[in-house]
Amino acid sequence: MYKGAGFRSAIVLALGHAATLVYLPEYNKANRILSVDGESGWVWAEATGRNNPLGWMPERFIGAELMAYEVEDETIAATAIEHPLCR
């Protein structure tokens, strides 16, 4: 959604969780400003829950190992999903 609106964005993965990061270097209401590949200005954008304002990073993820992947302008190929229940 953020990428479609013209904002740089990334998918952030934590153990058992996924969220979005948005590049907003001027945003000053975040409880944490993150760096992706050494570039500061990324804020947490949680899509779930009613009490998660833009920039609010849950305490349990502060200091946790996170992986971030910036959403780039590239084609995503469809891949078949193989699962025993999907035959």
The predicted structure's pLDDT at residue 47: 73
Joined together, the tokens standing for residue 70 give 């910036």
Alpha-carbon torsion (60, 25, 2, 35), positive or negative: negative
- Residue 75 predicted with pLDDT over 70: no
Cβ neighbours for 62, distance < 8 A, ≥ 6 positions apart: 32
Closest CA to 7 of 53, 52, 41: 41
Q: Which residue has the higher pLDDT, 75 or 14?
A: 14
DSSP category for residue 84: T
Whether the pLDDT of residue 85 is over 60: the answer is no
Nearest residue to 48 (alpha-carbon basis) of 15, 17, 3, 10 = 17
CB 70 within 8 Å of CB 9: yes
Given a cut of 90, is residue 84 above it in pLDDT? no
87: pLDDT strictly greater than 50? no
Question: Does the pLDDT value for residue 79 go beyond 70?
Answer: no
Amino acid sitting at position 68: A
The 10s digit of each residue's pLDDT in 21-42 is 999 999 999 999 999 999 999 9
